[in-house]
């Protein structure tokens, strides 16, 4: 288990009693992230918007103290096998954070593993697992143009299958739509597959 961003030791006990909002992200393998970033860059070149780290929200908007969040997150990672993600479609939405996204198939095994993870975090699992390619409030015409850009840069992105073994815990702030203040707090790998 790799702790990438542990809180500073100067934090007081009082600070650890504060409640913060958290999200657990599934991080695609490096080769998939490179492909996704290339598409994201093409979309930002056309439309602007914040830079996004490729991720899939598995549990979001959880309210915990810092120590509780880390404890629940590490327990969740130790309870779940690597998760297979299969892109179902490229979809547009009216929601800022899901404006243009890759939406994943929710097969039985996928739903079971993500459900276990979310329950260990004491959060609701994402009802539409997706990987956002751009954030924003765009017209239908702009979203159609965005879909064309995605397919012209990497059409096979819309049929990808990959396995996630790495999760990250973020302290989040929905008021910051740029995500610049969102803080990576902890990173861990999922447990190895156990054959019964």
What residues act catalytically?
55, 130
Cβ neighbours for 12, distance < 8 A, ≥ 6 positions apart: none
Beta strands in 41-192 (DSSP E): 56-64, 83-92, 100-104, 130-134, 161-164, 166-171, 183-189
CA end-to-end span of the chain: 24
Range list of H helices, 60-185:
66-77, 108-121, 140-154
**Residue corresponding to tokens 């994943």:** 104
Find out whether 32 and 54 touch, Cβ atoms under 8 Å: yes
Give the span between the Cα atoms of 145 and 128, in whole angstroms.
23
């Amino acid at each position: 288990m790799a702790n990438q961003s542990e809180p500073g030791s100067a934090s007081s006990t009082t600070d650890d009693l504060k409640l913060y909002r958290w999200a657990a992200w599934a991080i695609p393998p490096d080769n998939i992230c490179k492909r996704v970033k290339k598409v994201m860059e093409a979309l930002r070149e056309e439309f602007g918007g914040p830079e996004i780290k490729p991720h899939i929200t598995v549990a979001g908007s959880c309210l915990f103290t810092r120590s509780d969040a880390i404890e629940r997150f590490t327990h969740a990672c130790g309870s779940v096998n690597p998760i297979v993600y299969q892109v179902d479609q490229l979809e547009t939405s009216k929601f800022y954070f899901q404006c243009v996204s890759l939406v994943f198939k929710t097969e039985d095994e996928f739903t079971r593993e993500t459900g276990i993870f979310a329950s260990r975090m004491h959060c609701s699992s994402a009802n539409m697992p997706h990987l956002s390619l751009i954030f924003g409030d765009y017209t239908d015409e702009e979203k159609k143009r965005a879909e064309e850009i995605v397919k012209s840069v990497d059409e096979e992105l819309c049929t990808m299958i990959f396995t996630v073994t790495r999760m990250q815990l973020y302290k989040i702030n929905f008021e910051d739509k740029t995500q610049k203040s969102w803080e990576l707090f902890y990173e861990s790998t999922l447990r190895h597959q156990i054959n019964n």
